[in-house]
Chains A and B, each alone.
Chain A
């Protein structure tokens, strides 16, 4: 019988929620890495027992953790817990000192890198590019040792040795618009990485607040894909970059269609980002953070409307997921099992996920520490756990 594993990152540690395919009786394990912020955990599609975690702290920096047994035990990728260097390897896999797995150094080399420049700061001045943390980890669809990392200040890194070492794909940071990129309220983070399952050289990323970008050559060059976005907080509301994209989503069967929850507006594109159009329509608010696609219905999408950029909680104190079965524009409120009064939590950009069982299960976590599940595609919801630290991210693994 199938099983479900939900990976939850919170402000004070990681939790793993497990159930069988019925998704009614849950066990809660954790906290792992107690006291640390866990921005994101994600399992490898190629090896579900391989899970990567971004452990971070404003005091003590960035740590990458890895599990090879489905989250029961964790290690910093390296040779072992006591040694200083990895065992001798061949030329293709030289030894990597333990601790290097936490090193995210922008590539400024002449051969493959780009000089460190500046980006726009909140007050309009230019600000140095500084690494802060890893926001999102996106394992390869085919190789458990390959993972992409989206970081703040915005850049894309990749490991090809299971997280032991990380190298920047620096072409993104060299784009001639970078001086106009600026941080959103959470920092200038690269928070979304979508790998095209039909074309390994095509990757989509999103940066707050720069916008969305696409590479067709495995990261050697990037193109802003923000035409059709309108952001009225900008001097030029339709500028090429500067848009505060909160999240992108894709169905693997149709990677040319992307859905976007922007600072304001829910958007879609059917030409891989070359042109976007708004599909917010009857939403009570088109502000929000996450957006997710149903596992088996490429035109069924989910958002969680939030009142406004100043009031990060559901309109009217009613926690409602909205579902569109038409790829946008026609939205239905899903409320069964969700609090419909006095609810003032938020759902952050990486805190919603879908399993691949049939019927598809939808999951989300809140800043109030609740994690909800709907095992029937959004019709009915129940709470898996209610009192975790503020939830930063939710991912789900469907296990055989």
Chain B
């Protein structure tokens, strides 16, 4: 089970608490994790990755095990601690407040 922490605006949009849990079949990568997140919460499509290009939105960042993985290749495996749920995967608005 994978744990994902969402920023506040996406929590309210999806109607969830800060952390959601997902199941991903196969290798856990940025791409497969986000695919699973959007499949479970389709109202989030377009809010993390651009609807048309599929690329990460510019002011969204991803963190895994205290490392910024925002610029990692989408198909790169995420750390084991993310895949097992020992650590949450963080989706963060690049600047707080506003």
Are B38 and A59 in contact, with the CB atoms below 8 A? no
In B11-60, the 8 Å CB interface with A consists of: 12-13, 15, 38-39, 42-48, 50-52, 57, 59-60
Q: Once the chains are docked, how many angstroms separate the CA of A72 from the CA of B42?
A: 23
The answer, among B10, B15, B44, for a CB contact under 8 Å with A99, is: B44
Q: Once the chains are docked, how many angstroms separate the CA of A105 from the CA of B51?
A: 8
**Residues of B close to A103: CB separation below 8 A:** 45-46, 51-52
Are B43 and A59 in contact, with the CB atoms below 8 A? no
**Residues of A close to B52: CB separation below 8 A:** 103, 105, 131
Are A34 and B12 in contact, with the CB atoms below 8 A? yes
Indicate whether B74 reaches chain A with its CB closer than 8 angstroms. no
**Known contacts A34-B12, A59-B59, A60-B9; A84 and B39 CB within 8 A of each other:** yes
Q: Once the chains are docked, how many angstroms separate the CA of A61 from the CA of B59?
A: 10
Indicate whether A125 reaches chain B with its CB closer than 8 angstroms. no
Q: Once the chains are docked, how many angstroms separate the CA of A81 from the CA of B42?
A: 9
**Residues of A close to B46: CB separation below 8 A:** 61-63, 99, 102-103
Indicate whether B8 reaches chain A with its CB closer than 8 angstroms. yes
The answer, among B12, B39, B47, for a CB contact under 8 Å with A61, is: B47
Are A59 and B94 in contact, with the CB atoms below 8 A? yes
Q: Once the chains are docked, how many angstroms separate the CA of A100 from the CA of B57?
A: 17
Residue of A with least CB distance to B10: A60
Size bin of chain B's contact surface? 20 to 34
Residue of B with least CB distance to A103: B51
Q: Once the chains are docked, how many angstroms separate the CA of A61 from the CA of B53?
A: 13
Indicate whether A381 reaches chain B with its CB closer than 8 angstroms. no
**Residues of B close to A99: CB separation below 8 A:** 38, 42-46
Indicate whether A208 reaches chain B with its CB closer than 8 angstroms. no
Size bin of chain A's contact surface? 20 to 34
**Known contacts A35-B12, A36-B9, A100-B45; A59 and B50 CB within 8 A of each other:** no
Indicate whether B85 reaches chain A with its CB closer than 8 angstroms. no
**Residues of A close to B77: CB separation below 8 A:** none
Indicate whether A397 reaches chain B with its CB closer than 8 angstroms. no
Indicate whether A97 reaches chain B with its CB closer than 8 angstroms. yes
Q: Once the chains are docked, how many angstroms separate the CA of A83 from the CA of B44?
A: 13
Q: Once the chains are docked, how many angstroms separate the CA of A35 from the CA of B13?
A: 11
**Residues of A close to B39: CB separation below 8 A:** 84
**Residues of A close to B8: CB separation below 8 A:** 35
Residue of B with least CB distance to A60: B47
Q: Report A86-122 CB contacts with B as 1/0, cut-off 8 Å.
A: 0000000000011110111100000000000000000
**Residues of A close to B57: CB separation below 8 A:** 59-61
Most buried by A among B7, B15, B46, B52: B46
Residue of B with least CB distance to A75: B43
With A57-B9, A99-B38, A99-B43 given, name 5 new contacts (CB 8 A).
A58-B59, A59-B98, A60-B48, A99-B42, A102-B45
Partner-B contacts on A (CB < 8 A):
33-36, 57-63, 76, 78, 81, 83-84, 97-100, 102-105, 131
- A-B contacts, 27 of them at CB < 8 A, read A33-B12, A34-B12, A35-B8, A58-B59, A59-B7, A59-B59, A59-B94, A59-B98, A60-B7, A60-B48, A60-B57, A60-B60, A60-B93, A61-B50, A61-B51, A62-B46, A78-B42, A83-B42, A97-B45, A98-B43, A102-B45, A102-B47, A103-B51, A103-B52, A104-B51, A105-B51, A105-B52
